[in-house]
Structure 1
Amino acid sequence: MFRLIQLRAQHGEPRIGIDPDGYGSEHAALARYRETPAAYFGIGRFDAEGRLAEIIMDTVCSPTAYCPRTAVVVHAETFQRLCDTCSFGLEVLTLPELALHLGVVVRMAPVLAPSGRHAAPDEAYSASNRIAREFATHVDDPVWRMELCAELSRTPSAVNGLLIGVGALSHREVLDHYPALCALGTQLPGVVHEDLVRATRRPLSPAGVTALRLGM
Protein backbone atom coordinates (compact mmCIF):
# COMPACT_ATOMS: atom_id res chain seq x y z
CA MET A 1 0.00 0.00 0.00
CA PHE A 2 1.24 3.49 -0.88
CA ARG A 3 0.22 6.79 0.67
CA LEU A 4 1.27 10.41 0.24
CA ILE A 5 3.37 11.69 3.11
CA GLN A 6 4.46 15.03 4.49
CA LEU A 7 7.77 15.62 6.25
CA ARG A 8 8.12 18.62 8.53
CA ALA A 9 10.37 19.68 11.38
CA GLN A 10 8.84 20.01 14.84
CA HIS A 11 11.08 21.20 17.67
CA GLY A 12 14.08 20.23 15.61
CA GLU A 13 12.86 16.69 14.96
CA PRO A 14 11.32 15.30 11.76
CA ARG A 15 7.62 14.52 11.86
CA ILE A 16 5.94 12.41 9.19
CA GLY A 17 2.34 13.12 8.26
CA ILE A 18 0.39 10.46 6.37
CA ASP A 19 -2.48 11.09 3.98
CA PRO A 20 -5.38 8.67 4.65
CA ASP A 21 -5.97 7.79 0.99
CA GLY A 22 -4.22 4.61 -0.10
CA TYR A 23 -3.00 3.55 -3.56
CA GLY A 24 -2.35 0.08 -4.85
CA SER A 25 0.80 0.92 -6.80
CA GLU A 26 3.74 3.29 -6.67
CA HIS A 27 2.82 4.58 -10.11
CA ALA A 28 -0.70 5.54 -9.02
CA ALA A 29 0.55 7.23 -5.86
CA LEU A 30 3.17 9.20 -7.79
CA ALA A 31 0.59 10.32 -10.33
CA ARG A 32 -1.59 11.66 -7.51
CA TYR A 33 1.41 13.22 -5.77
CA ARG A 34 2.53 15.07 -8.89
CA GLU A 35 -0.84 16.81 -9.12
CA THR A 36 0.02 18.78 -5.94
CA PRO A 37 3.75 18.33 -5.29
CA ALA A 38 4.05 21.34 -3.00
CA ALA A 39 1.66 19.77 -0.49
CA TYR A 40 3.66 16.59 0.13
CA PHE A 41 7.22 15.37 0.55
CA GLY A 42 6.80 12.14 -1.36
CA ILE A 43 5.31 8.65 -1.23
CA GLY A 44 5.32 6.19 1.63
CA ARG A 45 5.25 2.44 1.06
CA PHE A 46 3.59 0.54 3.90
CA ASP A 47 3.98 -3.14 4.68
CA ALA A 48 1.18 -5.63 5.32
CA GLU A 49 1.03 -4.60 8.98
CA GLY A 50 0.63 -0.93 8.12
CA ARG A 51 4.16 0.11 9.08
CA LEU A 52 6.07 2.63 6.99
CA ALA A 53 8.70 0.56 5.18
CA GLU A 54 10.09 3.00 2.62
CA ILE A 55 9.90 6.64 1.58
CA ILE A 56 10.02 7.49 -2.12
CA MET A 57 11.19 11.05 -2.74
CA ASP A 58 10.40 12.89 -5.95
CA THR A 59 13.28 13.82 -8.22
CA VAL A 60 12.29 17.45 -8.80
CA CYS A 61 13.87 20.23 -6.75
CA SER A 62 11.61 22.12 -4.33
CA PRO A 63 8.38 23.06 -6.15
CA THR A 64 8.18 26.27 -4.12
CA ALA A 65 11.42 27.42 -5.74
CA TYR A 66 10.13 26.63 -9.25
CA CYS A 67 13.42 24.90 -10.02
CA PRO A 68 13.31 22.16 -12.67
CA ARG A 69 16.65 20.59 -11.72
CA THR A 70 16.99 17.15 -10.15
CA ALA A 71 16.91 17.05 -6.35
CA VAL A 72 19.91 15.36 -4.75
CA VAL A 73 19.65 16.37 -1.06
CA VAL A 74 17.16 17.80 1.44
CA HIS A 75 17.49 20.85 3.67
CA ALA A 76 18.63 19.74 7.12
CA GLU A 77 15.95 21.77 8.92
CA THR A 78 12.98 22.12 6.55
CA PHE A 79 13.50 18.86 4.60
CA GLN A 80 12.83 20.64 1.32
CA ARG A 81 14.17 18.78 -1.69
CA LEU A 82 17.09 20.64 -3.25
CA CYS A 83 19.33 20.32 -6.27
CA ASP A 84 23.08 20.99 -6.20
CA THR A 85 22.57 24.63 -7.18
CA CYS A 86 19.79 25.47 -4.72
CA SER A 87 21.56 23.67 -1.88
CA PHE A 88 24.84 25.55 -2.27
CA GLY A 89 25.97 26.95 1.08
CA LEU A 90 23.09 25.37 3.01
CA GLU A 91 23.13 22.68 5.66
CA VAL A 92 21.74 19.61 3.93
CA LEU A 93 21.21 15.88 4.34
CA THR A 94 21.96 13.30 1.69
CA LEU A 95 19.42 10.54 1.14
CA PRO A 96 21.42 8.02 3.22
CA GLU A 97 21.72 10.57 6.02
CA LEU A 98 17.99 11.28 5.83
CA ALA A 99 17.23 7.54 5.85
CA LEU A 100 19.31 7.00 8.97
CA HIS A 101 17.82 10.12 10.57
CA LEU A 102 14.28 8.85 9.97
CA GLY A 103 15.04 5.17 10.48
CA VAL A 104 13.32 4.36 7.18
CA VAL A 105 14.75 3.57 3.76
CA VAL A 106 14.61 6.60 1.44
CA ARG A 107 15.05 6.39 -2.31
CA MET A 108 14.40 8.57 -5.32
CA ALA A 109 11.30 8.08 -7.43
CA PRO A 110 11.89 6.78 -10.97
CA VAL A 111 12.67 9.46 -13.52
CA LEU A 112 10.55 9.47 -16.64
CA ALA A 113 12.58 9.44 -19.83
CA PRO A 114 11.38 11.52 -22.80
CA SER A 115 9.77 8.42 -24.30
CA GLY A 116 7.63 8.04 -21.20
CA ARG A 117 9.50 4.98 -20.02
CA HIS A 118 11.51 4.97 -16.86
CA ALA A 119 15.04 6.17 -17.39
CA ALA A 120 17.96 3.94 -16.48
CA PRO A 121 18.76 4.07 -12.76
CA ASP A 122 21.85 5.97 -11.72
CA GLU A 123 24.96 4.37 -10.29
CA ALA A 124 23.92 4.75 -6.66
CA TYR A 125 20.52 3.21 -7.27
CA SER A 126 22.12 0.30 -9.15
CA ALA A 127 24.63 -0.27 -6.35
CA SER A 128 21.86 -0.21 -3.75
CA ASN A 129 19.82 -2.74 -5.70
CA ARG A 130 22.82 -5.02 -6.17
CA ILE A 131 23.71 -4.95 -2.47
CA ALA A 132 20.14 -5.75 -1.46
CA ARG A 133 19.88 -8.54 -4.03
CA GLU A 134 23.20 -10.21 -3.16
CA PHE A 135 23.27 -9.69 0.58
CA ALA A 136 21.77 -12.94 1.88
CA THR A 137 23.87 -15.18 -0.37
CA HIS A 138 27.16 -13.28 -0.13
CA VAL A 139 27.45 -11.87 3.38
CA ASP A 140 29.51 -14.87 4.56
CA ASP A 141 32.15 -14.12 1.92
CA PRO A 142 34.86 -11.88 3.47
CA VAL A 143 35.95 -10.63 0.05
CA TRP A 144 32.38 -9.60 -0.78
CA ARG A 145 32.11 -7.80 2.56
CA MET A 146 35.29 -5.86 1.78
CA GLU A 147 33.89 -4.93 -1.63
CA LEU A 148 30.62 -3.89 0.01
CA CYS A 149 32.43 -1.56 2.40
CA ALA A 150 34.46 -0.11 -0.46
CA GLU A 151 31.22 0.48 -2.38
CA LEU A 152 29.68 2.25 0.61
CA SER A 153 32.76 4.47 0.86
CA ARG A 154 32.50 5.37 -2.84
CA THR A 155 28.70 5.59 -2.97
CA PRO A 156 27.28 6.41 0.48
CA SER A 157 23.70 6.45 -0.81
CA ALA A 158 24.00 2.71 -1.48
CA VAL A 159 23.46 2.25 2.27
CA ASN A 160 19.79 1.84 1.38
CA GLY A 161 20.72 -1.52 -0.13
CA LEU A 162 22.33 -2.52 3.15
CA LEU A 163 19.18 -1.61 5.10
CA ILE A 164 17.02 -3.57 2.68
CA GLY A 165 19.33 -6.59 2.54
CA VAL A 166 19.74 -6.92 6.30
CA GLY A 167 16.07 -6.23 6.95
CA ALA A 168 14.99 -8.93 4.51
CA LEU A 169 16.79 -11.70 6.43
CA SER A 170 14.60 -14.12 8.33
CA HIS A 171 15.29 -14.75 12.01
CA ARG A 172 16.85 -18.09 11.09
CA GLU A 173 19.09 -16.44 8.50
CA VAL A 174 20.21 -13.88 11.07
CA LEU A 175 21.27 -16.70 13.39
CA ASP A 176 22.99 -18.60 10.57
CA HIS A 177 24.92 -15.54 9.37
CA TYR A 178 25.41 -13.79 12.71
CA PRO A 179 29.23 -14.12 12.86
CA ALA A 180 29.49 -12.64 9.36
CA LEU A 181 26.97 -9.92 10.20
CA CYS A 182 28.96 -8.91 13.28
CA ALA A 183 32.16 -8.92 11.24
CA LEU A 184 30.53 -6.64 8.69
CA GLY A 185 29.39 -4.34 11.48
CA THR A 186 33.01 -3.74 12.48
CA GLN A 187 34.15 -3.20 8.88
CA LEU A 188 31.66 -0.56 7.76
CA PRO A 189 32.95 2.91 6.85
CA GLY A 190 33.11 5.22 9.86
CA VAL A 191 30.22 7.51 8.98
CA VAL A 192 27.87 4.63 8.18
CA HIS A 193 28.88 2.83 11.38
CA GLU A 194 28.31 5.94 13.52
CA ASP A 195 24.90 6.60 11.99
CA LEU A 196 23.81 3.01 12.56
CA VAL A 197 24.98 3.10 16.17
CA ARG A 198 22.80 6.18 16.70
CA ALA A 199 19.91 4.33 15.07
CA THR A 200 19.92 1.73 17.87
CA ARG A 201 17.93 4.26 19.86
CA ARG A 202 15.07 3.40 17.46
CA PRO A 203 15.40 -0.41 17.48
CA LEU A 204 12.21 -1.06 15.49
CA SER A 205 13.17 1.23 12.61
CA PRO A 206 14.85 -0.30 9.53
CA ALA A 207 18.15 1.36 10.44
CA GLY A 208 17.80 0.24 14.06
CA VAL A 209 17.06 -3.34 13.01
CA THR A 210 20.10 -3.27 10.72
CA ALA A 211 22.34 -1.99 13.50
CA LEU A 212 21.21 -4.62 15.99
CA ARG A 213 21.54 -7.43 13.46
CA LEU A 214 25.09 -6.25 12.76
CA GLY A 215 25.92 -6.61 16.44
CA MET A 216 25.96 -2.92 17.34
Structure 2
Amino acid sequence: MDIEMAALLVVGSRNLKKRQEIVEILGDLGLEIRDLSGWPDVPEVIEDGATFEENARKKASELARHLHQWVLGEDSGLVVPALNGRPGVYSARYAGKQGDDAANNARLLAELAPLPDDRRAAYYVCAAALASPHGEIKTIAEGRCHGTIIKEARGQGGFGYDPLFLIPEYQRTFGELSARVKHALSHRARALAKLRGTLRQLLSGDHEAVAI
Protein backbone atom coordinates (compact mmCIF):
# COMPACT_ATOMS: atom_id res chain seq x y z
CA MET A 1 0.00 0.00 0.00
CA ASP A 2 1.28 3.47 -0.85
CA ILE A 3 1.76 6.03 1.83
CA GLU A 4 -1.06 8.50 2.22
CA MET A 5 -1.16 11.04 -0.57
CA ALA A 6 0.30 14.39 0.38
CA ALA A 7 -1.61 17.48 -0.65
CA LEU A 8 0.90 18.05 -3.46
CA LEU A 9 0.31 17.02 -7.05
CA VAL A 10 3.00 17.64 -9.66
CA VAL A 11 1.87 18.26 -13.22
CA GLY A 12 4.40 16.62 -15.54
CA SER A 13 4.81 19.69 -17.73
CA ARG A 14 6.60 23.03 -17.90
CA ASN A 15 3.68 24.58 -19.76
CA LEU A 16 2.44 27.28 -17.38
CA LYS A 17 -0.87 27.70 -19.21
CA LYS A 18 -1.57 23.98 -18.98
CA ARG A 19 -0.80 24.02 -15.25
CA GLN A 20 -3.11 27.00 -14.77
CA GLU A 21 -5.96 25.20 -16.51
CA ILE A 22 -5.46 22.16 -14.27
CA VAL A 23 -5.38 24.38 -11.16
CA GLU A 24 -8.66 25.99 -12.21
CA ILE A 25 -10.29 22.62 -12.88
CA LEU A 26 -9.05 20.77 -9.77
CA GLY A 27 -8.52 23.70 -7.41
CA ASP A 28 -11.50 22.90 -5.20
CA LEU A 29 -9.95 19.59 -4.10
CA GLY A 30 -7.52 21.32 -1.76
CA LEU A 31 -4.41 20.16 -3.61
CA GLU A 32 -1.24 22.16 -4.04
CA ILE A 33 -0.57 21.81 -7.75
CA ARG A 34 2.90 22.54 -9.13
CA ASP A 35 4.54 22.09 -12.51
CA LEU A 36 8.08 21.04 -13.33
CA SER A 37 9.47 24.57 -13.16
CA GLY A 38 10.13 23.89 -9.48
CA TRP A 39 12.49 21.06 -10.45
CA PRO A 40 14.71 22.57 -13.18
CA ASP A 41 17.09 19.59 -13.20
CA VAL A 42 14.47 16.93 -13.82
CA PRO A 43 15.23 15.16 -17.13
CA GLU A 44 12.90 15.55 -20.08
CA VAL A 45 10.69 12.57 -20.78
CA ILE A 46 10.90 11.54 -24.42
CA GLU A 47 7.35 11.44 -25.75
CA ASP A 48 7.78 8.61 -28.24
CA GLY A 49 4.47 6.84 -27.69
CA ALA A 50 2.16 6.07 -30.59
CA THR A 51 -0.87 7.24 -28.60
CA PHE A 52 -1.74 9.99 -26.14
CA GLU A 53 -2.26 7.36 -23.43
CA GLU A 54 1.20 5.85 -23.91
CA ASN A 55 2.82 9.27 -23.53
CA ALA A 56 0.72 10.16 -20.48
CA ARG A 57 1.60 6.89 -18.76
CA LYS A 58 5.29 7.27 -19.52
CA LYS A 59 5.47 10.85 -18.25
CA ALA A 60 3.57 10.09 -15.06
CA SER A 61 5.55 6.97 -14.17
CA GLU A 62 9.06 8.24 -14.98
CA LEU A 63 8.60 11.62 -13.33
CA ALA A 64 6.98 10.15 -10.22
CA ARG A 65 9.93 7.81 -9.68
CA HIS A 66 12.41 10.63 -10.23
CA LEU A 67 10.66 13.16 -7.98
CA HIS A 68 9.20 10.74 -5.41
CA GLN A 69 5.94 12.66 -5.71
CA TRP A 70 2.44 12.05 -6.99
CA VAL A 71 2.50 13.07 -10.65
CA LEU A 72 -0.20 13.80 -13.16
CA GLY A 73 1.11 12.90 -16.59
CA GLU A 74 -0.95 14.38 -19.38
CA ASP A 75 -0.72 14.28 -23.14
CA SER A 76 -3.15 16.05 -25.37
CA GLY A 77 -3.51 17.19 -28.93
CA LEU A 78 -5.67 17.83 -31.93
CA VAL A 79 -6.95 15.15 -34.29
CA VAL A 80 -8.22 16.05 -37.77
CA PRO A 81 -9.79 13.04 -39.53
CA ALA A 82 -9.38 14.64 -42.98
CA LEU A 83 -5.61 14.76 -42.34
CA ASN A 84 -5.48 11.08 -41.37
CA GLY A 85 -5.45 12.01 -37.69
CA ARG A 86 -2.73 14.63 -37.81
CA PRO A 87 -1.38 16.52 -35.93
CA GLY A 88 -2.20 13.87 -33.26
CA VAL A 89 0.59 13.10 -30.82
CA TYR A 90 2.80 15.58 -32.69
CA SER A 91 0.45 18.50 -32.00
CA ALA A 92 2.88 20.52 -29.86
CA ARG A 93 5.71 20.15 -32.39
CA TYR A 94 3.77 19.88 -35.63
CA ALA A 95 5.83 22.56 -37.38
CA GLY A 96 9.10 21.20 -35.97
CA LYS A 97 9.82 23.26 -32.86
CA GLN A 98 8.23 22.25 -29.56
CA GLY A 99 5.56 24.67 -28.40
CA ASP A 100 5.62 27.06 -31.38
CA ASP A 101 1.88 27.73 -31.47
CA ALA A 102 1.99 30.23 -34.32
CA ALA A 103 3.97 27.92 -36.60
CA ASN A 104 1.84 24.91 -35.71
CA ASN A 105 -1.34 26.83 -36.47
CA ALA A 106 0.09 28.07 -39.76
CA ARG A 107 0.96 24.56 -40.90
CA LEU A 108 -2.48 23.26 -39.94
CA LEU A 109 -4.22 26.03 -41.88
CA ALA A 110 -2.01 25.44 -44.92
CA GLU A 111 -2.82 21.74 -44.98
CA LEU A 112 -6.54 22.35 -44.59
CA ALA A 113 -6.69 25.17 -47.15
CA PRO A 114 -7.60 22.94 -50.14
CA LEU A 115 -10.40 21.19 -48.25
CA PRO A 116 -14.07 22.20 -48.24
CA ASP A 117 -15.71 23.43 -45.04
CA ASP A 118 -17.45 20.11 -44.42
CA ARG A 119 -14.08 18.37 -44.07
CA ARG A 120 -12.65 20.64 -41.37
CA ALA A 121 -14.08 18.68 -38.43
CA ALA A 122 -11.62 18.01 -35.61
CA TYR A 123 -11.46 16.94 -32.01
CA TYR A 124 -9.16 17.49 -29.09
CA VAL A 125 -8.00 14.50 -27.03
CA CYS A 126 -6.55 14.51 -23.52
CA ALA A 127 -5.15 11.43 -21.80
CA ALA A 128 -4.30 11.90 -18.11
CA ALA A 129 -2.46 9.36 -15.95
CA LEU A 130 -1.90 9.54 -12.20
CA ALA A 131 1.21 7.86 -10.77
CA SER A 132 2.21 7.24 -7.16
CA PRO A 133 5.66 8.28 -5.87
CA HIS A 134 6.82 4.73 -6.71
CA GLY A 135 5.86 5.21 -10.36
CA GLU A 136 2.81 2.97 -10.23
CA ILE A 137 -0.02 4.13 -12.50
CA LYS A 138 -3.08 4.39 -10.29
CA THR A 139 -5.61 5.46 -12.88
CA ILE A 140 -5.91 6.88 -16.36
CA ALA A 141 -8.69 8.76 -18.10
CA GLU A 142 -9.41 10.23 -21.51
CA GLY A 143 -11.53 13.19 -22.55
CA ARG A 144 -12.54 14.46 -25.98
CA CYS A 145 -14.09 17.63 -27.33
CA HIS A 146 -15.40 17.94 -30.89
CA GLY A 147 -15.33 21.05 -33.02
CA THR A 148 -14.31 22.56 -36.36
CA ILE A 149 -11.15 24.27 -37.57
CA ILE A 150 -11.90 27.76 -38.86
CA LYS A 151 -9.82 29.60 -41.47
CA GLU A 152 -8.52 32.47 -39.33
CA ALA A 153 -7.57 32.64 -35.66
CA ARG A 154 -10.07 34.26 -33.31
CA GLY A 155 -9.59 35.16 -29.65
CA GLN A 156 -6.65 35.63 -27.31
CA GLY A 157 -7.48 33.00 -24.71
CA GLY A 158 -6.15 29.49 -24.29
CA PHE A 159 -3.09 28.17 -26.12
CA GLY A 160 -2.12 25.76 -28.86
CA TYR A 161 -4.80 25.46 -31.52
CA ASP A 162 -7.49 27.09 -29.35
CA PRO A 163 -7.96 30.23 -31.52
CA LEU A 164 -8.76 27.98 -34.51
CA PHE A 165 -10.96 25.44 -32.71
CA LEU A 166 -14.62 26.42 -33.05
CA ILE A 167 -17.30 24.97 -30.77
CA PRO A 168 -20.38 24.76 -33.05
CA GLU A 169 -23.02 25.22 -30.34
CA TYR A 170 -21.39 28.47 -29.19
CA GLN A 171 -20.05 29.63 -32.57
CA ARG A 172 -16.93 30.69 -30.71
CA THR A 173 -13.42 29.33 -30.55
CA PHE A 174 -11.72 28.14 -27.39
CA GLY A 175 -9.69 31.33 -27.76
CA GLU A 176 -12.88 33.40 -27.41
CA LEU A 177 -14.72 31.46 -24.71
CA SER A 178 -14.36 32.36 -21.04
CA ALA A 179 -12.31 30.05 -18.86
CA ARG A 180 -15.48 29.02 -17.03
CA VAL A 181 -17.20 27.86 -20.22
CA LYS A 182 -14.07 26.23 -21.62
CA HIS A 183 -13.52 24.26 -18.43
CA ALA A 184 -17.03 22.86 -18.73
CA LEU A 185 -16.43 21.67 -22.30
CA SER A 186 -12.78 20.94 -22.90
CA HIS A 187 -11.07 17.61 -23.45
CA ARG A 188 -8.80 18.34 -20.47
CA ALA A 189 -11.72 19.14 -18.18
CA ARG A 190 -13.51 15.95 -19.22
CA ALA A 191 -10.46 13.78 -18.59
CA LEU A 192 -9.74 15.37 -15.22
CA ALA A 193 -13.38 15.07 -14.18
CA LYS A 194 -12.95 11.30 -14.40
CA LEU A 195 -9.95 11.51 -12.04
CA ARG A 196 -11.64 13.58 -9.35
CA GLY A 197 -13.05 10.57 -7.52
CA THR A 198 -9.68 8.84 -7.53
CA LEU A 199 -7.94 11.94 -6.23
CA ARG A 200 -10.47 12.25 -3.40
CA GLN A 201 -9.92 8.59 -2.44
CA LEU A 202 -6.17 9.02 -2.41
CA LEU A 203 -6.37 12.21 -0.39
CA SER A 204 -8.47 10.36 2.18
CA GLY A 205 -5.95 7.52 2.30
CA ASP A 206 -8.35 5.00 0.74
CA HIS A 207 -5.78 3.41 -1.57
CA GLU A 208 -7.41 -0.02 -1.63
CA ALA A 209 -10.43 1.40 -3.47
CA VAL A 210 -8.30 2.78 -6.28
CA ALA A 211 -7.82 0.67 -9.36
CA ILE A 212 -7.33 1.24 -13.05
User: What range describes the TM-score normalised by the shorter chain of this pair?
Assistant: under 0.3
Structure showing greater relative contact order (alpha-carbon pairs closer than 8 Å, 6 or more residues apart): 2
If the length of structure 1 is used for normalisation, what is the TM-score?
A: 0.27
